Structure 1
Amino acid sequence: MDHTAEHQRRPNPRGAGGELRTEIVTAALRLVEDTPDPSAITLRGVARQAGVTAPSIYSHFENLDAVMAAVVTLAFDRLHSYLDDAKATRHDAVGRLHALCRAYAAFAVESPRLYNLLFNQEKVALLRQVESGVVPPKQVDTMPGAHAFGMLVQAVAACVKEGTSTSTDPQRDATLLWAALHGYVTLLHTTADFPWPSRDDVLDQYARHLAHLTG
């Protein structure tokens, strides 16, 4: 679907620069969703999608990388909202954990290009730098997507508090659970024709074993 503005965008009134910044980021996010290869996205393309001139973008972003970093932040916000909505449908701790796992997978399946953008920003060289001690690992509470990951940690901790999990380290076990979820949805993207078991069954098994659920 072509989301490009059909007419020249009217200038923002004085003091509405924040609105233009939001429109630029939203336009770039739409391009990510519509473009098979994100490396094909250009600053001019973003400007065209937003209905502005390329120089207008430089008033808010230094370059395309800065625009895409803002897109990643917005995408993580959408994932967080998606998970929050799912969690609100259940009132018990175990049910909320299962709902989060299912919603995470659903988001990845329904928005594959957006999901891939979230986790394909780093290079293999960065992993080597972290492993060698040249670059310190990110802090969990300040990394991109921290609020979404925090929901998973809190969900495991809630199960412990409720007496339905024997986890002794909710953050560690939430990390293992997230790694399993990410691996699963990545395989779904690359091997969709594999005879997978029921998605809900797979996800529930992950939660049950990795969060050490007892109920």
Structure 2
Amino acid sequence: MAGIQKAKSEETQRRVLEAAVKAVEAGGLEAVQIRKIAADAGYSVGSVYKHYEDQDALVTAVDTVTLARIKAAMAAAVEGVSDPLEQLKALARAYLAFAQEHRNLWRTLFALKMAEGVPTPEIHVQELVDLLAFIARPLQQLEAGLNDDALAARTRTCFAALHGLVAISLEDRFVGLTEDTLDKEMMFLVERLAGRS
């Protein structure tokens, strides 16, 4: 009996999360409305709150799905690529492609700020660590002298720089790049960040 209840509970949680992901895909962070998501999933509002403490917890779960999808895109991008600089370029292009194709999920990933004192769920943290590891591995090959702390800092710097370029460009900011120059300048940035001129 306990096994059946557990399976039903897991199914409810899965369906609610699927409905939330679809809502974000369609309308961004503003579309995360518990009542509507509960109805779309076929459950009561109470069922949603049984699995997700509040709206922030549900958005965090959606963000974890988004990170896993970005990670899968990055894994596919570097499959069969052995040169570390080419790996970094492939990762940059995969990140841009994901942001372009899944703009609402990508925007939502960076839109939620956790309330003070609320820890980020461990699974979310692990997805972030795994994503950054894709960047760290080729960087380590290119700069073998970096210790662990320096490598972690360089990895975050590279991700932040690339994300900034992509964000400014995709949000049509004044200093953003148009699509025809974005790839070229992104490759320029990757080469400089990787210590190649």
TM-score of Structure 1 vs Structure 2, range by shorter chain:
0.7 to 0.9
- Alignment match of 2:171 (pick from 178, 190, 196): 190
- Alignment match of 1:19 (pick from 3, 11, 21): 11
Deviation at 1:171?
2.5
Aligned residue in 1 for 2:46: 55
C-alpha separation in 1, matches of 2:53 and 2:108 = 20
1:170-185 equivalence runs, <5 A: 170-185=151-166
Deviation at 1:144?
6.1
| Shift in alpha-carbon separation, 1:49–1:22, aligned structure 2, 3 A | same
The question of whether the paired residues in 2 share the 8 Å contact of 1:76 and 1:144 is answered with: yes
Deviation at 1:197?
4.8
Identity level (%): 25
Aligned residue in 1 for 2:107: 116
TM-score, structure 1 normalization: 0.74
State whether structure 2 residue 27 is matched by structure 1 residue 35. yes
For structure 1, the residue ranges without an aligned partner over 5 or more in a row are 1-12, 127-140
For structure 2, the residue ranges without an aligned partner over 5 or more in a row are 117-123
State whether structure 2 residue 67 is matched by structure 1 residue 84. no
Identify the structure with the greater helix proportion. 2
The question of whether the paired residues in 2 share the 8 Å contact of 1:73 and 1:144 is answered with: yes
SS of the residue corresponding to residue 122 of structure 1 reads coil
1:65-144 equivalence runs, <5 A: 65-122=56-113, 142=125
Query: RMSD of the TM alignment (CA)?
Result: 2.8
C-alpha separation in 1, matches of 2:194 and 2:97 = 20
SS of the residue corresponding to residue 198 of structure 1 reads helix
Paired positions, count: 183
